[in-house]
Chain A
Amino acid sequence: MLSSLTIAQAHDKLKRKEISCEELTQSCIDRIEHVDEKIHAVVYRNFGSALNKAKKIDSEGEFPHPLTGIPFLVKDTFSEKGIPTTACSNILRNKDYIPPFESTVTNRLKDVGAISMGKTNTDEFTMGGSTETSCYGSTHNPWNLSRTPGGSSGGSAAGTTSDQCLFALGTDTGGSIRQPAGFCNCTGLRCTYGRNSRYGVMSMASSLDTIGPLCKTVEDATLVLSVIAGKDPYDPTTSDVPVPDSSKILTQNIKGMRIGIAKEYFTEGMQTDVKNAVADAIRTFEELGASTEDISLPHTQYSVAAYYIICPCEVSSNMARYDGIRYGHTILRHGSLIDYYERVRSEGFGPEVKRRIMIGTYALSAGYFDAYYRQAQKVRTLIQRDFLEAFTKVDVILSPVSPNIAFPIGAHDGDPVAMYLEDVFLCSQPMAGIPALSIPCGFSSENMPIGLQIMGPQWGEEVILKTGHAYQQATDWHRKKPSL
């Protein structure tokens, strides 16, 4: 099955003319049509246009870039000109929002000839850790259909793992790339805040939102990053720090690398299989010539609480634009303008979005600002300092992605705090703006994937990708596929 190739393998075959771009794209389409009824990763299919582009590339016969002719899927929050994009929310779905412009990153991918095939499922406006809050219903984990794929980029993770595409794009605000990558057995990269342009990607929490790839290997993530990264005049938070150099990532070994292990990431309630798999991974790194050191990140325990103040505050502001005037849902009968706003928003937004808007509105309201928002921002400073200090002693920090394997669909219904705590190891890195990689490192006794997180310093994508690549050269976990 051609759709199971990695980007690097497919590029090689395309270049040698062993396969055509049309065959490769058709293979992904066949796979989506064959398995996605069960998984529900893809919420919009753009197959006609994808096949036309594939044929055009074949007729030109040139594959100058590793991503030329490579089919991919995009989370439903990335604007593509002329393609319905709804953030899996009824507020944009009911009158299919069709963006009149293109996001910078999809533009950059299309410029080198990558082929967009459709949109993947996400929690509504990326708010959630399971894809259950999507207006289209949950995605199912390819390893066990009764479990969630994680979220919010659950569609992108499940789609990549089940070979419906060669790679997918996702967003990570508080774990939304790393957690589903860990739950589904693919490679997910949260980049340094400011590494990739967010122009044309729907905002959730602007001081934390990042975008990144979900791939089959670290090598592929490196190839995608080299295209999407870099300064964009349309996103003033992007930096002109040099884009990571893939040749440095993919050739060097990790002998002498200093790996930090923080006790705060090995908590009591953690599943034994997860603990053991991560311990095995640490031994693998030692065998590869790295040294390990115990470190402490003392404010880790406050990261989820700080996140669930800062994020909802920014949500309450970002969601104000959905007012039924410029785009999206509308109602026929209404009174005043205020009545119109209230009813459009109440019908259009789902419960998790409403919860976050209300928490943020409350925390920012008169009399509560200092107690909540200001205090959370100060704790954010302390979390950032923890990492700055740790990275004076070590090059990377290893931890599990999640304390447990993927939970059953519906397990956290009516208990938002339990859902938030699924991201207990994933909220600190966004606070500090640092990059982190999620890669497969084993399976539980139920045959569910376990993820390993590799954190690096700000702008340290090269070192975490190099570490992840070395691990994937020595192990086979990332090659394991679910039977569907």
Chain B
Amino acid sequence: MSLVPDDIRHIAKLARLHISDKEVKRYTKELSSILTYVDKLKEVDTRNVEPTTQVTGLRNVFREDEVRPSDTAPEACIETSPLPIMDRQIQTPSAHG
């Protein structure tokens, strides 16, 4: 499977990455080589084989909905933000441009 530079620009946009023209060139080559390698999966006959999403065999794991003390204050979680904090809220760039 071979990708072209426009594929890389499109994938980067979907992945919320801003990449330079130099990086586009690099990733076109590297991602194509990876996809060529993984193409060998197509050799495998997987008719009537169920996909495995996880290996624990567990399903619908619940825990009691109890109020428990936490040694982490809500303020401490907000403080890890690199952005300004106002009234216990993070001031982000505008979503409306």
The chain A residues found within 8 Å of chain B, CB to CB, are 81, 95, 97-101, 193-194, 207, 233, 236-237, 239, 299, 301-302, 304-306, 308-309, 316, 320, 323-330, 334-343, 345-346, 349, 351, 354-355, 357-359, 361-362, 365, 371-372, 374-382, 384, 414-417, 420, 431-433, 458
A334, B55: Cβ atoms closer than 8 Å: no
Min distance, Cβ B38 to any Cβ of chain A, angstroms = 4
Q: Report how many residues on chain B are interfacial, defined by Cβ distance under 8 Å.
A: 56
Min distance, Cβ A132 to any Cβ of chain B, angstroms = 15
B92, A325: Cβ atoms closer than 8 Å: yes
Min distance, Cβ B30 to any Cβ of chain A, angstroms = 6
A365, B18: Cβ atoms closer than 8 Å: no
User: Of the candidates B3, B52, B58, which one forms a contact with A239 in the assembled complex, judged by CB atoms under 8 Å apart?
Assistant: B58
User: Of the candidates A355, A372, A374, which one forms a contact with B27 in the assembled complex, judged by CB atoms under 8 Å apart?
Assistant: A355
A341, B40: Cβ atoms closer than 8 Å: no
B41 close to A (CB within 8 Å) = yes
A361, B11: Cβ atoms closer than 8 Å: yes
B67 close to A (CB within 8 Å) = no
17 sampled A-B residue pairs with Cβ under 8 A: A193-B55, A194-B55, A233-B63, A305-B41, A306-B41, A326-B80, A328-B82, A337-B92, A341-B16, A342-B16, A342-B18, A343-B18, A358-B12, A358-B31, A362-B35, A378-B51, A415-B33
Q: Are A379 and B44 also in contact (CB < 8 A) when A98-B80, A309-B38, A417-B33 are?
A: yes
B86 close to A (CB within 8 Å) = no
Min distance, Cβ A330 to any Cβ of chain B, angstroms = 4
CB-nearest residue of chain B relative to A206? B54
Contacts of B12 on A, CB cut-off 8 Å? 358
Min distance, Cβ B4 to any Cβ of chain A, angstroms = 13
B49, A330: Cβ atoms closer than 8 Å: no
A380, B51: Cβ atoms closer than 8 Å: yes
Q: Are A378 and B34 also in contact (CB < 8 A) when A340-B93, A345-B17 are?
A: no
A375, B41: Cβ atoms closer than 8 Å: yes
In the bound complex, CA of A236 to CA of B60 (Å): 9
The 7 closest A-B pairs by CB, nearest first: A433-B55, A377-B51, A330-B82, A100-B76, A236-B61, A378-B46, A342-B18
Contacts of B72 on A, CB cut-off 8 Å? 81, 100-101
In the bound complex, CA of A376 to CA of B37 (Å): 13
B17, A381: Cβ atoms closer than 8 Å: no
Known interface pairs A237-B58, A358-B17; 16 further A-B residue pairs with C-beta atoms within 8 A, sorted by A's residue number: A97-B80, A207-B55, A233-B63, A236-B61, A336-B93, A338-B16, A343-B18, A358-B31, A362-B31, A362-B35, A377-B52, A377-B53, A378-B44, A381-B51, A417-B34, A417-B37
Contacts of A375 on B, CB cut-off 8 Å? 41-42, 44, 46
Contacts of B58 on A, CB cut-off 8 Å? 194, 236-237, 239
Contacts of B21 on A, CB cut-off 8 Å? none
Min distance, Cβ B89 to any Cβ of chain A, angstroms = 11
CB-nearest residue of chain B relative to A307? B38
B18, A346: Cβ atoms closer than 8 Å: yes
User: Of the candidates B31, B52, B73, B76, which one forms a contact with A355 in the assembled complex, judged by CB atoms under 8 Å apart?
Assistant: B31
A384, B55: Cβ atoms closer than 8 Å: yes
In the bound complex, CA of A194 to CA of B3 (Å): 37
User: Of the candidates A308, A336, A345, which one forms a contact with B34 in the assembled complex, judged by CB atoms under 8 Å apart?
Assistant: A308
Contacts of B50 on A, CB cut-off 8 Å? 378, 381
B14, A365: Cβ atoms closer than 8 Å: yes
In the bound complex, CA of A336 to CA of B18 (Å): 13
B17, A324: Cβ atoms closer than 8 Å: no
In the bound complex, CA of A81 to CA of B63 (Å): 24
Min distance, Cβ A454 to any Cβ of chain B, angstroms = 19
B49, A432: Cβ atoms closer than 8 Å: no
CB-nearest residue of chain B relative to A414? B30
Contacts of A382 on B, CB cut-off 8 Å? 44, 46, 49
B56, A193: Cβ atoms closer than 8 Å: yes
In the bound complex, CA of A399 to CA of B53 (Å): 26
Q: Are A342 and B17 also in contact (CB < 8 A) when A354-B27, A433-B55, A433-B56 are?
A: yes
CB-nearest residue of chain A relative to B38? A305
Contacts of B51 on A, CB cut-off 8 Å? 374, 377-378, 380-381
Max chain A C-beta neighbours (<10 A), residue from B7, B19, B38, B39: B38
B16, A345: Cβ atoms closer than 8 Å: yes
Min distance, Cβ A476 to any Cβ of chain B, angstroms = 36
Min distance, Cβ B75 to any Cβ of chain A, angstroms = 9
Min distance, Cβ B96 to any Cβ of chain A, angstroms = 8
Min distance, Cβ A179 to any Cβ of chain B, angstroms = 19
In the bound complex, CA of A193 to CA of B56 (Å): 7
In the bound complex, CA of A335 to CA of B94 (Å): 8
B59-80: which have CB < 8 Å to A?
61, 63, 71-73, 76-77, 79-80
CB-nearest residue of chain B relative to A354? B17
B41, A376: Cβ atoms closer than 8 Å: yes
Contacts of A416 on B, CB cut-off 8 Å? 30, 33-34
Min distance, Cβ A102 to any Cβ of chain B, angstroms = 8
A335, B97: Cβ atoms closer than 8 Å: yes
Contacts of B71 on A, CB cut-off 8 Å? 81, 101
